[in-house]
């Protein structure tokens, strides 16, 4: 069309709009701007002239210029900003501001498409019947912050980059199932897996893809400029990283889903109390990953709102089923399922939650509490000291003179280990120690530094050498979907042994062939309904074997200042899925 013709058409469009508004204030005509102009139209209903003016204005002017600065208080600085190399929750949360992802979660914790046209499923043909082929159709309009458009080549590059040993990715889970990626055109890629892997979509497509033109051929990417100043494609653009102090990102003016805030500053504050002080003075607007014990303090602040969601992280105690002195032998005390059951019934988790946690938490039941696939038929192991004492009596543990039960010359005494320096864990240990003493069981608190606790075989780590009686820490089933690494804690094939299987995660020597089958089904079953059945059955099997005590569900604690709206934290998305929606209201 020639320029002149275009101009005439434009004028006609404007004219018709004006006329249309003049006659009747018909909302249909200004359909596009409804969300933004709604306030004005309702208020100005009677004054038609004003509506006319507004319509024209909104077409051109950006009422939605990003305004304001939000400060997020982070207590752990990321190690680097390439997500697969520096894989930890805080880095990922921060990085999410600068990257869109193929799929993401929304405010209802549902999986929705962001860079893709739709979430690939078997129903829409995105995933093949046999589960081995996934077709990714990208939406147009996404570009890297240097202007280069995002294409399917970038997706293929991301896979190669992650799998390249020279990259030193921390995690390749899920991506290592890819056999090949074929780029059909600019916006379409076909992924072929080596075998069917049902969690593929939910576990890999929620992560960012990386720019081929910026990272290809870069030696030692972890030590590159990109790792300190990344090139993203998301709602915010990287500005600067002052080590030890802050990372600053600014709104991306060309973002397809434009942000409402002009600048986000991620400020690093390692001391929790200082962080709370900054929240109180208003220097920090948003804080996350706070401890349950701080909720009482934050509730007192007038300008800050506390949001505590029951999350997926569950504090649990694992019973070692093998004798730590000789791993070929069963545990002298815990090999009897009734003893384990009695011990579990002897610990008052309800008082722990209401008293020590001040009500901020929930007594846990299964591996998947608060997850859509939780087996809700199961009830928490009750607190019943009398029944527990009875079970122990039946099992032959007789009360000794010093108040501790004895059987065949063995005292019912065991070590309980967790990470040293963790306030809440220690407090719980103290409470349970007292509970158990009341029924004749001696629990010795034996904590270690994290680096020793999780240490491997080479350094005589507690976890690595299975050198514990009961081991407690927090774990979660990764995210929306279950993944391989989660089942590693339960499978017979993952039983840890420094000689034969040093990397296995099943340090407690648990083995149940039925569970192995159910886990295999949970990860590979293609029929979604059958899959969920397996997952629920697996939870029940674990429950009936009484080898893990699920203590309490941890809350995800967020603090948001009253001057910021739109954060709406969720279980799967945390606070970082909604960066584009954050708004400063003052």
Q: Segment 436-455, which members bind other proteins (CB under 8 A)?
A: 445-455
**Distance between CA atoms of 329 and 324, rounded to whole angstroms?**
9
Q: Decide: is 504 part of the binding site for other proteins (CB under 8 A).
A: yes
Residues 154-183 that bind other proteins (CB under 8 A): 165, 168-173, 176
Residues 262-281 that bind other proteins (CB under 8 A): 265, 267-274, 276-278, 280-281
Own/partner contacts of 489-492, CB < 8 Å, gap of 24 or more, are 490/515, 490/519, 490/542, 491/515, 491/516, 491/519, 492/516
Q: Which of 342, 228, 87, 136 is nearest to 333 (CA)?
A: 342
User: Would you say 190 or 301 has its CB closer to other proteins?
Assistant: 301
Of the residues 71, 202, 264, 391, which one makes contact with other proteins according to CB under 8 A = 71
Size of the site for other proteins (CB under 8 A): 98
**Distance between CA atoms of 115 and 158, rounded to whole angstroms?**
15
CA distances from 145 to 68, 142, 248, 304, 315 (A): 21, 9, 15, 34, 41
**Distance between CA atoms of 209 and 212, rounded to whole angstroms?**
9
Q: How far is the CB of 342 from other proteins (least distance, A)?
A: 20
Of the residues 188, 239, 293, 374, which one makes contact with other proteins according to CB under 8 A = 293
Of the residues 245, 384, 442, 533, which one makes contact with other proteins according to CB under 8 A = 245
Contact string 299-318 vs other proteins (x = CB under 8 A): -x------------------
Of the residues 54, 212, 246, 316, which one makes contact with other proteins according to CB under 8 A = 246
Q: Decide: is 413 part of the binding site for other proteins (CB under 8 A).
A: no
Q: Decide: is 294 part of the binding site for other proteins (CB under 8 A).
A: yes
User: Would you say 54 or 371 has its CB closer to other proteins?
Assistant: 371
**Distance between CA atoms of 359 and 362, rounded to whole angstroms?**
8
User: Would you say 297 or 384 has its CB closer to other proteins?
Assistant: 297
> How does DSSP assign 29-76, residue by residue?
TT-TTHHHHHHHHHHTTT-HHHHHHHHHHHHHS-TT----EEEEEESS
Q: Decide: is 585 part of the binding site for other proteins (CB under 8 A).
A: no
Specify whether the CB–CB gap between 548 and 319 falls below 8 A.
yes
Strands, E assignment, 234-377: 236-242, 246-251, 263-268, 286-290, 304-319, 322-323, 326-330, 362-363
Q: Decide: is 86 part of the binding site for other proteins (CB under 8 A).
A: yes
Residues 88-127 that bind other proteins (CB under 8 A): 88
Near other proteins by CB under 8 A, which window of 251-259, 331-339, 421-429, 567-575?
Answer: 421-429
User: Would you say 188 or 293 has its CB closer to other proteins?
Assistant: 293
Contact string 329-348 vs other proteins (x = CB under 8 A): -------------------x
User: Would you say 173 or 363 has its CB closer to other proteins?
Assistant: 173
Using DSSP's 3-state secondary structure scheme, residue 253 falls into coil
């Amino acid at each position: 069309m020639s320029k002149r013709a275009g101009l005439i058409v434009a004028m006609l469009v404007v004219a018709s709009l004006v006329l249309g508004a003049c006659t009747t204030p018909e909302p249909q005509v200004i359909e596009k701007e409804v969300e933004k102009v709604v306030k004005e139209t309702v208020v100005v209903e009677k004054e038609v002239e004003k509506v006319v003016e507004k319509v024209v204005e909104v077409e051109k002017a950006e009422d939605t210029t990003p305004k304001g600065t939000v400060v997020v208080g982070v207590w752990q600085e990321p190690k680097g900003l390439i997500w697969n190399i520096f894989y930890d929750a805080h880095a990922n949360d921060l990085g999410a501001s600068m990257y869109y992802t193929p799929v993401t979660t929304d405010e209802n914790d549902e999986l929705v498409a962001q860079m893709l046209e739709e979430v690939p499923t078997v129903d829409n043909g995105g995933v093949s019947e046999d589960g081995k082929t996934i077709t990714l159709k990208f939406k147009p309009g996404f570009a890297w912050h240097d202007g280069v458009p995002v294409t399917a080549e970038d997706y293929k590059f991301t896979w190669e980059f992650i799998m390249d040993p020279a990259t030193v990715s921390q995690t390749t889970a899920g991506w290592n199932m890819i056999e090949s990626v074929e780029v059909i055109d600019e916006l379409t890629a076909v992924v072929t897996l080596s075998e069917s892997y049902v969690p593929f979509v939910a576990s890999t497509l929620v992560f960012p893809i990386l720019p081929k033109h910026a990272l290809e051929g870069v030696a030692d990417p972890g030590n590159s400029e990109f790792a300190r100043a990344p090139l993203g494609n998301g709602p915010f653009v990287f500005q600067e990283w002052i080590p030890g102090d802050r990372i600053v990102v600014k709104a991306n003016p060309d973002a397809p889903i434009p942000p409402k805030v002009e600048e986000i500053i991620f400020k690093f504050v390692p001391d929790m109390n200082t962080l709370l002080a900054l929240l109180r003075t208003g220097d920090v607007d948003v804080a996350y990953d706070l401890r349950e014990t701080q909720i009482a303090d934050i509730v007192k602040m007038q300008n800050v709102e506390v949001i505590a969601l029951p999350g997926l992280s569950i504090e649990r105690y694992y019973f070692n089923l093998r004798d730590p002195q000789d791993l070929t032998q069963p545990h002298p005390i815990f090999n009897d399922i009734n003893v384990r059951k009695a011990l579990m019934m002897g610990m008052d988790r309800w008082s722990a939650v209401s008293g020590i946690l001040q009500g901020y938490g929930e007594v846990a039941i299964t591996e998947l509490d608060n997850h859509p696939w939780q087996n809700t038929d199961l009830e928490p192991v009750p607190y019943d000291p009398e029944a527990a004492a009875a079970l122990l009596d039946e099992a032959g543990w007789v009360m000794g003179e010093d108040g501790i039960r004895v059987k065949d010359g063995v005292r019912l005494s065991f070590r309980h280990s967790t990470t040293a320096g963790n306030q809440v864990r220690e407090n719980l240990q103290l409470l349970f120690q007292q509970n158990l003493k009341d029924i004749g069981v001696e629990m010795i608190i034996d904590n270690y530094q994290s680096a020793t606790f999780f240490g491997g075989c080479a350094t005589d780590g507690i976890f690595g050498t299975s050198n514990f009686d009961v081991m407690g820490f927090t774990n979660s089933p990764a995210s929306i979907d279950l993944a391989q690494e989660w089942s590693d804690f339960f499978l017979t094939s993952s039983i840890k042994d420094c000689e034969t299987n040093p990397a296995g995660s099943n340090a407690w020597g648990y083995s149940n062939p039925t569970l192995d089958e159910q886990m295999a089904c949970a990860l590979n079953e293609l029929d979604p309904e059958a899959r969920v059945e397996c997952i629920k059955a697996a939870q029940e099997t674990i429950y009936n074997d009484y080898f893990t005590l699920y203590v309490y569900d941890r809350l995800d604690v967020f603090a948001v200042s009253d001057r910021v709206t739109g954060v709406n934290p969720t279980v799967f998305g945390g606070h970082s899925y909604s960066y584009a929606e954050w708004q400063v209201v003052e």
